Structure formats: C-alpha cells, structure tokens
Structure 1
Amino acid sequence: MNQLEQLKKYTKVVIDSGDISHIKKYKPFDATTNPSLILKAIKMKEYFYLIKNSIEYSKKKGGNNKKKITRAVDKIIVSLGSEILNKIPGVVSSEVDARLSFNIEKSILKAKKIISMYENDHGINRNRVLIKLAATWEGIKAAEYLEKNNIHCNLTLLFSFAQARACAESNVFLISPFVGRIYDWYKLNYPTSKYHVLQDKGVRSVKNIYEYYKKYLYKTIIMGASFRNKEQILALSGCDCLTISPELLEDLKSSDEILNKELFLPKVTFKKPDEKLSKSEFKFLHNKDLMAVEKLSEGIKQFSLDQNTLEKIIKKNM
C-alpha cells in the first residue's frame, strides 16, 4: 500500500481543495473549503458557470446591489459545496464571512442562511455540512449556539491551546489546528533553529490538544490542517482527521514507505474539569501566545481580503 492508503487506516483523510478534479482523483472522505480555495477555484475557466449561475439566482431574489452581491457569493460557496458533496461520502466545510469573526449574532445569521441554501436550494441535509468559523471568542460562542440547533461547526484559524480548550468546553463538533501556519511563524522568528518534525511547534500543538481532549473524553473532533511538508502529516498519523492539500496527497500517494501510527488514545482518562474558561480568562491565555495572536489576526485579514475579491468578481460580472 502507498502511504495515503496506509494513513487512511489510522486517520480520516480530508481534502483541502475546492477543485472537483482533485476530489475525484484522491477520493477523500470529507472536504474543506475556505474563501482562498473558493477564489482559486472560480478563477479557473471550468468553474465560471458558478459565477454566472449565482448572479442569475441572486437577481431573481431581488434587493439592492449590495444584497445581490452578498447573496451571489453565498450561492457560489453553497453550489461548490454541493458539487463536492456529490463526489464524497462525508461532509464539506463551508466558511462564514471572516469579516463577521467578532460578531456572534451576524455569524449565527450567516450560518443559518448557508444551511438554509444547502437544504432548500440543493436538497442537502445539514448533517453533511460543517459551518466554518474563526476561533475567536465570538466565533466559539456562535458555534456553541449553532451546535444546540443541530448545525455542526468547524472552528478554524486555531493556534492556541486556549482556543482549543474553549471549543471543547463549548461542545464544538470539530476544530482545525493550523500546523503549517504555526510552523511558518517559528521559522520566520527563529530562522537559525535546527528543524526536526518531532520538535515542530505546529505538530506539538496538535499532539497536546489530542492528548488533552482524549484524556478528558471531550467529543470535539481534531482535524490537523495547513501542512507544509509530508513529515508533519506522518507525525500526526492517528489523529481523528487530517485535511491535506492535493500536492501533499500526491506525495503520500507516490510513496510506498512504511507509515506508523503516532497518536494513541490514553490508557487512563479523567472527568472533565467543572470550571470552564470565562471570556476574560480566554482572552488572557490566548493573548499570552504572541504567535497565536499574530496568526489569528493575519488569517482573518487574509480571508476577509479574499471575500472582498470574490465580491469584486461578482460585481464585475453582474
């Protein structure tokens, strides 16, 4: 078996792409998208019909230009997600506008809108969709509300242990710790340090979260994300899920080297702590981690810029 086949024995493999051709090729169980991946997809000629169809859909619904553009972007996200779901057995993650990352109420409304479009326009059950939200305090609280209303969430842009703990305590369905972006920050700030995957701060972050969640029997699923090399993936074999780019999936598929399971369930477990993080405690602990503060801010900014670009493309073609 190649390494991709071996990895699938221990971990649910998810593809991090909005390109249907990649999904057909690697046959993942689930798929994740974000504004950057969707922007990349719709710039390809074969996906221009998504722009055209979303504009026609939005115009029929009426409203001013701003509402039409916003609705058309939502339609692209849902339409692409629906096409992906036709090719996989599991779920797809669709992201809420990153500009709402600090607004609980608007994040909830946008999530409900996306789910409504999946269900009413495409006939897709909400259980096949994960709503992606940035793991700000507000995003986590929005997810807590949505989970209680049978809308499962994927908390993304997760860099600190405080974010991971707050998500588990809020009964979030799934988290996406960003291995590669943590690695990027340490590589930039400590360029002379010798690199070894076992000391990789991104890998260690996921391992620490995995050990904590399993030790206290939290049900929140851990999905390592944002990988920079194959070694990071191999070091997290046994994690609940790993979402992997097509390029790294190809690296795994091309190798027949033996792949070992690296993460294991603890032999002893404990009752969950009674006390949950308050908002002030969360912010204090998160802000102690300079890397997490910078990368969360940077991630929200980049996804917001990509959202703006999507809207400009819609406006240009409307």
Structure 2
Amino acid sequence: MSVSPDKRRKMESVLEQLKRHTVVVADTGDFNAIDEFKPQDATTNPSLILAAAKMPQYQHLLEQAIQHGLDTEGSEEQQVTAAMDRLFVSFGLEILKKIPGRVSTEVDARLSFDRAAMVSRARRLVELYEQEGVGKDRVLIKLSSTWEGIEAGRELEQTYGIHCNMTLLFSFAQAVACANAGVTLISPFVGRILDWHKEHGGRKEFTPSEDPGVISVTKIYNYYKKFGFKTVVMGASFRNVGEVKALAGCDYLTISPGLLSELSQEHTPLTAALTAQAAKSSDLEHVSLDEVQFRWQHNEDQMAVEKLSDGIRKFAADAVKLESMIKEKMLSLKNGQ
C-alpha cells in the first residue's frame, strides 16, 4: 500500500524532512553526536575543541598533538602553535571518517586582523591534512569575517584553491563583501543576533518569523540567490528549533547536538521557508562595497560590531586556555612526569 507524501511527512521526523530541503551540518567536536545524527558535514571552533579536549575519550588526540609539537624544531611558542594546529587537524581527521562531506577547521581568532598571517596559518592547516591523505576538497578553513579575514579568504580561494568558511558574520555588509570575494561558504550567526536584541531591545520573546537572526539570514539568502552568487549560506548558532525550522531551505544549517536531538524527536510537517525561486522576486538591490564602504556600513550596525568583536575575544580566550593546557602537558613530558 502506497503512503501519500503528506502522511509520510507526518511519520518522518522534522530532522529527516529538513534534510530534504537543506544540507544538515553538525556543530560539534563530539564524534558520538556525529554517529547519532549522520550529518553531511561538520564544523568545529576553538570553544568546541577545548570542550572535547577535556573529555577522557579524546585524550589520545591531545597527546598525539603534544608529541607533534615536541617533535617540531623551534621555540616553545612555535612548538605550542604546532601542537594546536595538529590538535585541530586531528579532530578534523576523526570527524572526516564519520561524514561524507567536509569539515570546517578554524584559524586562530587572534589573527583576525592580520591577512598574511591568516593565509599562512590556513595553508599550514591544509598541508597537515594533505600529509594525512586528505585533500583540500574535504576541508573548509574558517576565518573571522573582518575585512582582513574576507580578503584572506579571497586570496586563499583564488590563489591556492583553498575553500573558506567565513564565520562570526552578523552584518549584511559582511555578507556582501564575502560574496564579492568569492568565498565558498558563510556562517551567519542566528542565535547571537537574537541574544543581542534580547539584551538591548527590552523584548525577551520573538516568534520565529520575527526573530532578528532569522530575518538577517533570510535577507542574505535572498540576496545571494537573486543575484546568482555561488557562495553557500550556512545558518549557524541556533538557540531553538523554531529558528531552524524558519530557515528550512537555506543551503546549509549547522546545528548543535541538543537541537538535532529535538528535531529528530518531533514529527510535525515541515516545508521549505526559503526557496531560490521566491528569492528571485525579492525587492533587494545589488550592492557594491570597497573597503571604505564596507567599514562604514558594518560600523553602522551596532549589533554586528559588538558581536563580531565579542566573538573574536571569546574564541581567542578559549584558544589561550587550550594553549595553557598544552603547555602544561608539554612541561610534564619534558620533565619526565
């Protein structure tokens, strides 16, 4: 007996339905979550790696990274940097064993305003992957969406064929500049935009259609599709499943294990909220930005300015914590403890 499409959707979980409209990406460093939800891709960041590195089941990856650092010639600082890079790549390699697509690996947020340093560090990360037999087609390098980061992304894409994921993206100006630079993918942060508006606007509750983060990503998606940009839009940083469902149809969505679990347990019908066809009829106009125009337009968005700087500081702080952990373990090994 055949089952009608409507009845089938009622039987399927929201997560299963979502996967028909959108590429689902796991936002985690925990391999168990990847096994459970079977996403296409996975993303990591310093905060996720720091959390995972503290878990007993991943100590062997930390130890391997530290040994790599100790085997690297140079100063203690150079050894720690080598260990950090190796740790990020080690997690990426394990994740790639469990997914069919790509893993995103982040360049140190402390380099967010140094284009040349970001390019150099990105090339080093890709080199480490290639030494393990993983081609750059399976890796996305995550860069902060500062002007310098976007220009680093342009250089990496055009000169070295390295695919980039522009993160900490909050303003329309950032999205336009990323599209103009021809980067592979952007990660606009939905939940952090909502957080800021709750904190500064005096309003604590938003329906999904009113959610400022959802509205921001919808505008970016429509702009990209209307004007034919190839850059992929991957909504990120979700606070609730309502935000996720309101962006069904977006190219990619990167979702935490907790929300993936909620989506897998819900069995209501889901339809695409975003479509390329609808985007074509939007009233958005084409925008051209040089550096001066970018800096001014981004600066005019108070939320974006504050959340970008806050995000860089938080990722940098977690990178420092990870470095401290590595230094301590390195010292113990050097002392024969």
Q: Structure 1-normalised TM-score?
A: 0.97
Once the two structures are superposed, residues 37-69 of structure 1 have per-residue CA deviations (whole angstroms, 9 ceiling, x without a partner) of 000100101111112111111212221111111
Comparing 251-260 with 175-184, which one deviates more in the overlay?
Answer: 251-260
Aligned to 1:3: 14
Comparing 176-185 with 60-69, which one deviates more in the overlay?
Answer: 60-69
Once the two structures are superposed, residues 128-155 of structure 1 have per-residue CA deviations (whole angstroms, 9 ceiling, x without a partner) of 0000000000000000000012100000
Once the two structures are superposed, residues 12-51 of structure 1 have per-residue CA deviations (whole angstroms, 9 ceiling, x without a partner) of 0000000011111110000000000000100101111112
| Structure exhibiting the larger radius of gyration computed from Cα positions | 2
* CA apart distance, 1:4: 0.5
How many residues are treated as equivalent by the alignment?
Answer: 316
Aligned to 2:125: 114
Aligned to 1:277: 289
Aligned to 2:201: 190
Question: Hey, what's the Cα distance between the residues in 2 that align with 1:222 and 1:297?
Answer: 21
Mark the CA change 1:259 to 1:308 in structure 2 (over 3 Å): closer, same or farther.
same
User: Residue type matched to 2:141 in 1?
Assistant: I
Aligned to 2:149: 139
Aligned to 2:250: 239
Aligned to 2:316: 304
Once the two structures are superposed, residues 214-271 of structure 1 have per-residue CA deviations (whole angstroms, 9 ceiling, x without a partner) of 000000000000000000000000000000000000000011111111101136479x
User: Residue type matched to 1:304 in 2?
Assistant: A
CA contact (8 A) 1:11 1:239 kept: yes
CA contact (8 A) 2:176 2:287 kept: no
CA contact (8 A) 1:217 1:269 kept: no
Superposed CA RMSD in Å reads: 1.5
Within-5 A mapping of 1:149-168: 149-168=160-179
Secondary structure of 1:266 counterpart: helix
CA contact (8 A) 1:158 1:177 kept: yes
* CA apart distance, 1:274: 8.7
* CA apart distance, 1:191: 2.7
Within-5 A mapping of 1:81-230: 81-120=92-131, 122-148=132-158, 149-192=160-203, 194-230=205-241
Secondary structure of 2:209 counterpart: helix
**Could you list the runs of 5+ residues in structure 2 that have no partner in the other structure?**
1-11, 331-337
Question: Hey, what's the Cα distance between the residues in 1 that align with 2:285 and 2:245?
Answer: 31
User: Residue type matched to 1:43 in 2?
Assistant: K
* CA apart distance, 1:273: 8.6
Mark the CA change 1:259 to 1:105 in structure 2 (over 3 Å): closer, same or farther.
same
Question: Hey, what's the Cα distance between the residues in 2 that align with 1:66 and 1:195?
Answer: 46
Aligned to 1:20: 31
